[in-house]
Amino acid sequence: MSAPVDLSVALGPLALANPILTASGTFGYGLEFAHLTDLGRLGGIVTKGLSVAPIRGNPPPRVCETRGGMLNSIGLQNIGIERFLAEVLPGLERFPPRVIVNLFGVSVEEYVRLAARVEPVAGVAAVELNVSCPNVQRGGLEFGQDPEILARLVRAVRAVTGKPLIVKLSPNVTRPVEIGEAAKAGGADILSAINTLLGMAIDPVSRRPRLATVRGGLSGPAIKPVALRVVFDVARQVGLPVIGIGGIETVDDVLEFLLAGASAVQIGSALFRDPTTAERLVTALADRLAADGVGTVRELIGAVRLPS
């Protein structure tokens, strides 16, 4: 009998029992899935984006299906950090997954306030910053679009948190590596990539956009090659551990992201098709590594064989 496969990974200061996480916005606050899948088997969960105050979100329709994926424009609806900490986090302790909180604000001050608020909370394993939201002090330009603004934001958050700090990169920029380097300069420990791609769909019969806000974020297998390319570039050039996100549904998808340089992955829209996808992938990854005679998942990270 062969030795059990070691799925554990360390992303800088963040140690995970396995590299399978759930992506923000596709897993609610975690408890929505508690009766559908075994939360304790996951490497961790990333919450829906949380803000200082609750946000009511965008008018409907907010989601539509596309070929090989879906568009969403939820509008960052969430219950706010205080309700999350008071009402949801204690409920998660029964299972218990590693909980990564996804935070966003419209100003540097809001991000700092959120990070400082969760800093003493033992149940929060790490912080992931959603920087794909408009900066009201900069005329609505997204924080993650400008390297200098992003570096300043990350530095300000770094000053108030000792928790592992993840910055989630947007693919809607010309040079994601440059943004990743800015996050590193600001003190980020880990990069996650990618957030959704901006997209659009039209109903040809009614001639109306399928989303009330016209544009939305594309996710699902349709974006996987884009995500893989960004992960590959960022992992090689920035020098921070990377969490790969984008259209992951099968164990082959997981292997691709690991080989491209990701140290862990987040499962997103696939959870809507099958709520057990992440848990299934933990088992499938262990089985696959055992079958291939790979002793530890760490052997695969960045092990893509490039043409010489």
Partner 1 sequence: MLPTDHLAVVERVVEHPLPYFSLLLAVPRGWADLAAGQFVMVRTGSGLEPFLRRAFSVHDATSSATGDRIELLIKAVGRGTRALAALSPGARLPVLGPLGRGFSLAAEGPVALVAGGVGAAPLYLLARRLAERGQRFDFFYGGRNRVDLPRLESFAALARRSGGRLVATTEDGSAGASGLVAEPLERALASGEFRFVYACGPMGLLARLASLVAAHGLGGEAALETPMGCGFGACLGCAVPRPDGRFALCCQDGPVFAFSEVAW
Question: Does 56 contact partner 1 by CB under 8 A?
Answer: yes
CB closer to partner 1 out of 149 and 267: 267
Task: Work out which of 83, 274, 286, 304 binds partner 1, going by CB under 8 A.
Answer: 274
Cβ 206 to partner 1, closest distance in Å?
14
Q: Which of 195, 262, 224, 189 is nearest to 26 (CA)?
A: 195
Structure token pair of residue 281: 């992938």
- CB of 71 closer than 8 Å to CB of 200: yes
Question: Does 195 contact partner 1 by CB under 8 A?
Answer: no
Cβ 58 to partner 1, closest distance in Å?
7
Task: Work out which of 4, 13, 68, 140 binds partner 1, going by CB under 8 A.
Answer: 68
Task: Work out which of 80, 221, 295, 302 binds partner 1, going by CB under 8 A.
Answer: 221
CB closer to partner 1 out of 107 and 250: 250
Question: Does 70 contact partner 1 by CB under 8 A?
Answer: yes
Question: Does 80 contact partner 1 by CB under 8 A?
Answer: no
Stretch that binds partner 1, among 62-70, 97-105, 119-127, 288-296 (CB under 8 A): 62-70
Stretch that binds partner 1, among 55-63, 114-122, 195-203, 235-243 (CB under 8 A): 55-63
Place of tokens 């959120």: 114
Task: Work out which of 7, 11, 21, 27 binds partner 1, going by CB under 8 A.
Answer: 27
Question: Does 276 contact partner 1 by CB under 8 A?
Answer: yes
Tell me phi and psi for residue 282, to 5 degrees. Answer: -60, -50
- Rounded Cα distance between 293 and 119, Å, is 41
CB closer to partner 1 out of 62 and 113: 62
Cβ 160 to partner 1, closest distance in Å?
29
Q: Which of 263, 196, 297, 265 is nearest to 13 (CA)?
A: 263
Cβ 78 to partner 1, closest distance in Å?
8
Q: Which of 70, 133, 157, 267 is catalytic?
A: 133
Question: Does 204 contact partner 1 by CB under 8 A?
Answer: no
Which residues pair with residue 243 across a beta bridge?
A: 192, 264
Question: Does 33 contact partner 1 by CB under 8 A?
Answer: yes
- Rounded Cα distance between 157 and 217, Å, is 26
Residue 64 known to be catalytic: no
Question: Does 242 contact partner 1 by CB under 8 A?
Answer: no
Would you name the residues annotated as active-site residues? 133
The site for partner 1 (CB under 8 A) is made up of 25-28, 32-33, 35-36, 48, 56-70, 72, 74, 77, 220-221, 269, 271-276
